[in-house]
């Protein structure tokens, strides 16, 4: 592991800390990856990238452990989405969202079709797409999404309402202005 630390330009102590964090947060990160990606190979891939993001960013991270967890949560999600983007496997997320909806009958129920979710998701900008996924897939509240994404609740509300409006337009429930 020494050469890795040297390669990173950091001291071995920092790498050891990152390794300890990886072990601690491993269940959360792996569950997260598995939920989104649904493929062990892709999960390994995303875990690898997330770990290196942790190694690189841990030294510069300023905050308590709660914020660290939120940051890791977001980093893992971002890498999963990158992998999906690369693999062109957005259908996996849509599947996950639909399963979630079937299990809990949550507020995603207003979208009648899985196709709507998929089509609208694909057209969103990356940040908004991420926020929508937190809302649809994880059932997170706006406050939590804002905490994880490091933004304001107002911004999250805007993203979500914009998504809902686009979905309705797409479904023909509202006229395009």
Partner 1 sequence: MKTERMEPPDVRRGREQGGHGRLSEYQMSRYMLGLMNEGERSAFEVMLKMDEAVCAQFQRFQASWEAERFDERRHRMPVFPGASSIQNRRVWGILRASMAVAVLGLVLWGSRSVFWMPLEMGPRVQGYLVDAGRDLADAKDARNTPAPDTMRTSGVGAAKKANGVGAKKSEPMRTKKAEDVGAKKSEPMQTKKSEDVGTKKIGPMRTKGSVDRVWASGTEPTMVVALMRGGKITQARSGQHFLKGDRLRLAHRWERGGYVFWVHRQGKTVTPLYPREGKMESVQVVSGEMMLLPGSLEVSGDGREEEWLVACFSRRPVSLGRLRAALVSLPKKMDRHALSVCDHRLHFLVRRE
**Per-residue interface string for the shown chain with partner 1, residues 68-87, x marking contact by CB under 8 A:** -xx--x------------xx
Structure tokens at 23: 């072990």
CA 81 to chain centre: 7
Quick check: 153 and 143 in contact, CB under 8 A?
yes
| Full DSSP string of 105-148 | --GGGG---HHHHHHHHHHS-HHHHHHHHHHHTS---HHHHHHH
Q: Is 25 in the site for partner 1 (CB under 8 A)?
A: yes
Q: Does 161 bind partner 1 (CB under 8 A)?
A: no
Only one of the segments 67-75, 112-120, 124-132, 161-169 lies at the binding site for partner 1 (rule: CB under 8 A); that segment is: 67-75
Alpha-carbon span 68 to 161, nearest angstrom: 28
Q: For residue 35, state whether it binds partner 1 (rule: CB under 8 A).
A: yes
Specify whether the CB–CB gap between 44 and 37 falls below 8 A.
no
Q: Is 130 in the site for partner 1 (CB under 8 A)?
A: no
Q: Does 141 interact with partner 1 (rule: CB under 8 A)? A: yes
In the set 9, 13, 105, 172, which binds partner 1 (CB under 8 A)? 105
Could you tell me if 74 and 148 are in contact, meaning their C-beta atoms sit under 8 angstroms apart?
yes
Residue 9 is a binding residue for partner 1 (CB under 8 A)? no
Q: Site for partner 1 (CB under 8 A): which residue of 52, 57, 118, 164?
A: 52
By the criterion CB under 8 A, which residues form the site for partner 1?
4, 19, 22-28, 30-32, 35, 41-42, 44-45, 47-49, 51-52, 65-66, 69-70, 73, 86-87, 104-107, 134, 138-144, 148
């Amino acid at each position: 592991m020494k050469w890795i630390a040297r390669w990173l330009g950091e001291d071995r102590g920092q790498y050891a800390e990152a390794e300890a964090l990886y072990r601690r947060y491993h269940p959360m990160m792996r569950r997260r990856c598995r939920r989104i990606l649904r493929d062990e190979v892709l999960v390994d891939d995303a875990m690898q990238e997330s770990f290196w993001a942790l190694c690189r960013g841990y030294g510069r991270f300023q905050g308590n452990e709660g914020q660290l967890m939120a940051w890791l949560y977001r980093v893992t999600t971002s890498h999963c989405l990158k992998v999906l983007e690369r693999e062109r496997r957005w259908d996996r997320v849509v599947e996950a969202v639909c399963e979630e909806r079937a299990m809990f009958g949550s507020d995603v129920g207003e979208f009648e079709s899985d196709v709507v979710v998929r089509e609208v998701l694909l057209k969103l900008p990356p940040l908004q797409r991420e926020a929508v996924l937190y809302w649809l897939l994880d059932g997170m509240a706006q406050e939590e999404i804002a905490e994880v994404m490091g933004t304001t609740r107002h911004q999250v509300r805007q993203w979500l309402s914009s998504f809902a409006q686009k979905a309705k337009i797409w479904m023909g429930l509202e006229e395009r202005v």
